[in-house]
Structure 1
Amino acid sequence: MTMEKHIFYSVCIISFAGSFLSTAVNIAIPVMSHEFGLTPDKLSWVVTAFLIPTAACLLPMGKVSDIYGRRKTYAAALLAFAFTTAAAALAATLPVLVAIRALQGIALSAVYVSYMPLLLATTDEDCQGRILGICVGLTYLGLSLGPVAGGLLTEYAGWRSIFLLSAAMASAAYLFIRPVRQEWYASGAPFVNAVSSALSIAGIVLFLWGISSYAETNLPLWAGLFLLLAFILHESRSYHPLLPLYIFRSVSFSMSNLAAFIQYSATYAMSFLLSLYLQVLTGLSPAVSGLILLVQPIIMALLSPKAGALSDAYGPMPIATAGLALTTLGLACFAIWPDPSVASVAAFLVLIGTGSALFGAPNNSAIMSAVKPAYHGVASSMLALARNLGQASSMAVVTLILSQHTAATTLYADAVRAALRQSYTLFAVLCLCSVFASLARGKKK
């Protein structure tokens, strides 16, 4: 097997495994809440504690990957992710599980910043959109199988089996990359800027934690915003920045990242919300709920490779913008009909799935092609940061909305129903904003 195939297969496996774990855990939240003796909304920290460290560590890990080698960083991160994922299956209490999930997120951040530069370094430029489309398609396939497999595993083998299966897949990805000996580096600073790293990590953690806990106190949110502003000012004056700000002079790069951030903010928490709706409000089992949620990501998995090929031919803007418009329509349907039948849920998910497929691969291609190959590591870090900040923000906002309604309403079902309606409306408005961000980048291929 060639080196290129070893890298490609490894990236494909971890693309599937990471997304599979995400949605499989979401479907297991109501069952986990019974074991730990808490309401399901309290278990949102099992998801949030994973997303926040992932987002916070992306920029420093990107620089580590550039300096010490992308293959070494990727391989070590796969081992760490496999180990922490297996450890999560053994967690006896919720605080222990949340702590392990945070370590999981740190390991996965190192995977995210290194795997795409490795893939692009071993792929011809004229077919990068198609290759990225395959990987995005496998990501969506993981999202699609996550709910149904997670529901079946939770119902018949327990929620801990989800982590064991994911650890096995991460180990398989490591076995594929292990024989590769060639290394890839990026020119730049010979060290990781400690001040920039501290400011960015603390700022992102406090900002996202502040959104989640805003109902109790707004101090972390404002502290996070202050540190993020300090980070930007420091980067503008640093000779060795963690994030070179001048790459944002590219309109395509800036608007593509903004569109990604908004799109993930608007869509990521939908599987969590619909899991609550289907199990808590309609009384369906985890397995049946997973089968219903299967509709959206399987559409995404089928259409993503074709969307990547279309972006190679026509440029990312028209394809991605059409996708965002369809996603907005699907979210608006949930906002207008917040108590839909099972058939309506499936129909709305078809719209969101089609839109997300048309957006994902073209937008990734736009971001990576907007910079020179020397900056692929930075671009990959920024893409992963936009994605994970969006995901973490989505869950943080939902956590805040749920906590407000559960505190104000005696009946838990009524609180969940009101929180769903408010969340759907907010997400629809956000996704509409991403349409304008996508249009602003222009038609350049």
Structure 2
Amino acid sequence: MRKWLPLLAICLGSFMLILDTTVVTVAIPDIARDLTASLPAMQWVLNLYTLVLAALTLVAGSLADLVGRRRVYLVALTIFAAGSLGSGLATSAGMLIAMRGVQGVGAAAVFATGMALLASRYEGRDRGTALGTLTAVLGMAAALGLLAGGLLTQFLGWRAIFLVNVPLCLVTGWLAVRCFEADAPAGRAGLDLRGVATLLRRPAFLGLLVAVAAPSLLFAAPLYASVWLQSGLGLSPVGAGLVLVPMAAVAFVTSMVVGRRLHQLPKVPLITTALVVAAIGCGMVRVLVHDGWPGLIPGLMLMGVGIGISGPAVSSALFDAVPAERAGLASGVMATFRQLGQAVGVAVLGLAFVGPTGASVGTVYLVAGAVLLASGLVVTVAHRQRRPARV
């Protein structure tokens, strides 16, 4: 059991960050009413968090390699707790957006260091199990975030969805101190910008990053589904959360199964298959959404299968592609593209959302499905053009 305590420490931190992304989704209507804010302002409540994550995670990953991953992880938790407290006490939309930015700063470093700490601690089958478990936990966080967001918003108010992070940060920090020794800095003179350029110039690596970013659309689309479920169909926040849970719940189970067998499977064909499966799920939503909220369930479950397969497969393939001493950099690159995908997804899918109607939601998922199919093609073509790494 002690062997997996480091995994528990990282999973708890990552769980909290993903929870804080999805927990806001079902609270958006209540936040908008309470702070007298528009839908575009609420998009920024989601987007600034993910944009800051995308902008800073790469730097945070390289910084963690430079000064020590555990140290950066603990400082990041402190920053995230401060941003969460400020978000919970916000008195205006502007203040809430600003505090979400502070959260994003802390979250960027937690994401960047978390996977790097795991990659440095586990190898072979254990690494596949650890990454699969972490991906499963992220899926579970997404599922519970939608439900928890509904419960907290309906019974305690939307501020509780942020304030709950403060004690979670304290527990996570305590576990990290107990489970990880202070790691030796890499001793470089500065951030490894040359290393970033060398990862990014390889077509196969870029293809993997596309596979990281594309599924993030499936965590951006529920914002618009939630608005339709509550404003269009009259569901409560809890009801909307329950409708959206199946995707993340299936992703959790699928990730656990795939992670245990990941070391035996060819990763790129697995990733491409996952993207196609998720795209088919989006198409099902487009066809069945006119049946009301039950029409979302089959497609959401199929999307969950795609997410559950692609998550651990992409993570494992990326860490296999870089030396161990650059695990923080690789983790930062991966988290950057994941959050960039979600931030861009909220904006792009917002163009397809013209109002809280089933047809509008169907269009949102149709666009997401088209992007996933295109991404699967990019991954396949890029893999065929791969060349030996010179990192």
TM-score by length of 2: 0.92
Percent of aligned pairs with the same residue? 26
In the TM superposition, what is the alpha-carbon distance from 1:252 to its structure 2 partner? 3.8
Give the equivalent residue in structure 2 for 1:90: 89
Q: Distance in 2 between matches of 1:242 and 1:13?
A: 32
Comparing 182-191 and 66-75, the one that deviates more: 182-191
- Confirm whether residue 245 of structure 1 aligns to residue 197 of structure 2: yes
Alignment RMSD (CA, Å)? 2.2
- Confirm whether residue 433 of structure 1 aligns to residue 374 of structure 2: yes
Give the equivalent residue in structure 1 for 2:389: none
Give the equivalent residue in structure 2 for 1:73: 72
- Equivalent position amino acid for 1:12 in 2: C
Q: Distance in 2 between matches of 1:122 and 1:442?
A: 31
- Equivalent position amino acid for 2:88 in 1: A
Q: Distance in 2 between matches of 1:40 and 1:336?
A: 26
1:328/1:152 Cα in 2 relative to 1: closer, same or farther (>3 Å)? same
1:70/1:321 Cα in 2 relative to 1: closer, same or farther (>3 Å)? same
- Confirm whether residue 396 of structure 1 aligns to residue 337 of structure 2: no
Q: Secondary structure of 2:290's partner? A: coil
Give the equivalent residue in structure 2 for 1:258: 210
Contact 2:204 2:385 in 1 (8 A): no
Q: Secondary structure of 1:294's partner? A: helix
In the TM superposition, what is the alpha-carbon distance from 1:12 to its structure 2 partner? 1.1
In the TM superposition, what is the alpha-carbon distance from 1:263 to its structure 2 partner? 2.5
Identify unmatched segments of 5+ residues in structure 1: 193-239, 406-411
Give the equivalent residue in structure 2 for 1:146: 145
In the TM superposition, what is the alpha-carbon distance from 1:178 to its structure 2 partner? 2.1
Q: Secondary structure of 1:57's partner? A: helix
- Confirm whether residue 19 of structure 1 aligns to residue 15 of structure 2: no
In the TM superposition, what is the alpha-carbon distance from 1:162 to its structure 2 partner? 1.0
Map of 1:170-319 to 2, 5 A cutoff?
Answer: 170-179=169-178, 182-185=181-184, 187=186, 189-192=188-191, 241=193, 243-248=195-200, 250-264=202-216, 266-319=217-270
Q: Distance in 1 between matches of 2:202 and 2:373?
A: 23
In the TM superposition, what is the alpha-carbon distance from 1:419 to its structure 2 partner? 4.6
- Confirm whether residue 61 of structure 1 aligns to residue 60 of structure 2: yes
Which has more radius of gyration? 1
- Equivalent position amino acid for 1:397 in 2: V
Give the equivalent residue in structure 1 for 2:312: 361
Give the equivalent residue in structure 2 for 1:113: 112
Q: Distance in 2 between matches of 1:56 and 1:44?
A: 18
1:116-143 CA-partner distances (Å, limit 9, x unpaired): 1111111133321111001111111110
Q: Distance in 1 between matches of 2:34 and 2:19?
A: 22
In the TM superposition, what is the alpha-carbon distance from 1:38 to its structure 2 partner? 3.0
Identify unmatched segments of 5+ residues in structure 2: 387-391
- Confirm whether residue 344 of structure 1 aligns to residue 295 of structure 2: yes
Q: Distance in 1 between matches of 2:189 and 2:5?
A: 29
Give the equivalent residue in structure 2 for 1:45: 44
Contact 1:186 1:374 in 2 (8 A): no
Q: Distance in 2 between matches of 1:243 and 1:93?
A: 41
1:253/1:290 Cα in 2 relative to 1: closer, same or farther (>3 Å)? same
In the TM superposition, what is the alpha-carbon distance from 1:394 to its structure 2 partner? 0.6
In the TM superposition, what is the alpha-carbon distance from 1:327 to its structure 2 partner? 0.3
Q: Distance in 2 between matches of 1:348 and 1:179?
A: 42
Q: Distance in 2 between matches of 1:88 and 1:355?
A: 33
Q: Distance in 1 between matches of 2:134 and 2:145?
A: 16
1:188/1:125 Cα in 2 relative to 1: closer, same or farther (>3 Å)? farther
Q: Distance in 1 between matches of 2:307 and 2:368?
A: 14
TM-score by length of 1: 0.81
Q: Distance in 2 between matches of 1:24 and 1:53?
A: 18
Q: Distance in 1 between matches of 2:385 and 2:194?
A: 30
Q: Distance in 2 between matches of 1:249 and 1:58?
A: 19
Give the equivalent residue in structure 2 for 1:208: none
Q: Distance in 2 between matches of 1:296 and 1:114?
A: 27
Contact 2:112 2:335 in 1 (8 A): yes
1:433/1:188 Cα in 2 relative to 1: closer, same or farther (>3 Å)? farther
Q: Distance in 2 between matches of 1:343 and 1:132?
A: 32
- Confirm whether residue 423 of structure 1 aligns to residue 364 of structure 2: yes
Contact 1:252 1:370 in 2 (8 A): no
Contact 1:263 1:430 in 2 (8 A): no
- Equivalent position amino acid for 2:242 in 1: L
Contact 1:151 1:286 in 2 (8 A): yes
Q: Secondary structure of 2:190's partner? A: coil
Contact 2:22 2:142 in 1 (8 A): yes
